Amino acid sequence: MRRARWVVGTLGLACAAACGGSGDGGAAFLGVYQVTTHVAAQGQGASIACDTAGDPVATPPFVKLAVDEFFDDPSFIRLSECDDAAGAVCTETLVLFNPGGPGLVTESANSQIGGGFPCQLYYSKATATLAEPALHLDLIEKYDGTDRPAAQCTVEAAEGLAGSPDCQRIERYDATRVE
């Protein structure tokens, strides 16, 4: 009986470590930041270079990184745009970060057939890096709607877009932590 409890406990700890668990890897990022620069660019019917500088965007003056209320786990950090330095008047974005690499990251890839193209591939990645008190957010979206057979319309093919220098949309924020 002791061995069974040890194995179950060990498996639970291993999964918590490997699966993200409820660690505090993102705790250093939590807070409100005043936006100093916000730029974006989007290809209108064509791709753009992922390193495109982008055009200034008029947005709320603050961003907030907070533990997502649904998950209530510091491994899930929600990006919101805010109107005030207290972070009380905010609009959540669809970006949900996890600790990973040198900071926070979220990555998604999917494929579908339809919409006038035999295959459509989508890839997105958002990263957050912190050099206290400066926060940098980088959000990219990639798309490929080329003619390829259904057998090649896979999530793996969508993940392959990660290495492409072409983007559909880029967005970057630089911000400073509010004391």
Looking at the domain assignment, is residue 99 inside a domain?
yes
pLDDT attached to residue 22: 37
Burial of 117 (0-12, 13-18, 19+ CB in 10 A): middle
User: What would the mean pLDDT of 110-127 be, rounded to a whole number?
Assistant: 87
Torsion sign (Cα): 21, 23, 24, 25: negative
Cis peptide before 133 (omega within 30 of 0): yes
Asked if the structure places residue 38 within a domain, the reply is yes
Q: What pLDDT score was predicted for residue 174?
A: 97
Domain presence at residue 169: yes
- 142: in domain: yes
**pLDDT score at 115:** 67
- Residue 34: inside a domain: yes
pTM of the complete model: 0.80
DSSP 128-175: EEEETTEEEEEEEEEEE-----GGG-SHHHHHGGGG-SEESEEEEEEE
Q: Taking residues 130-145, report their average pLDDT.
A: 94
pLDDT band at 74 (very low <50, low <70, confident <90, very high): confident
Does residue 173 lie in a domain region?
yes
* Count of domains for the chain: 1
Query: pLDDT of 27-38, one tens digit each?
Result: 999 999 999 999
Confidence of residue 24 (pLDDT cuts 50, 70, 90): low
Residue 3 has pLDDT above 90, yes or no: no
What's the half-sphere exposure (Cβ side, CA atoms, 13 Å) at 137? 30
Tell whether the model's pLDDT for residue 172 goes beyond 60. yes
pLDDT tier for residue 134 given thresholds of 50, 70 and 90: very high
Average pLDDT, the chain: 84
- Which range marks the domain in which residue 163 is found? 24-177
Instruction: Let me know if residue 110 belongs to a domain.
Output: yes
Give the torsion sign (CA, 64, 70, 73, 77).
negative
Strand 62-67 and strand 31-42: the pairing is: antiparallel
Asked if pLDDT for residue 10 goes beyond 70, the answer is no
Give domain status of residue 56, yes or no.
Answer: yes
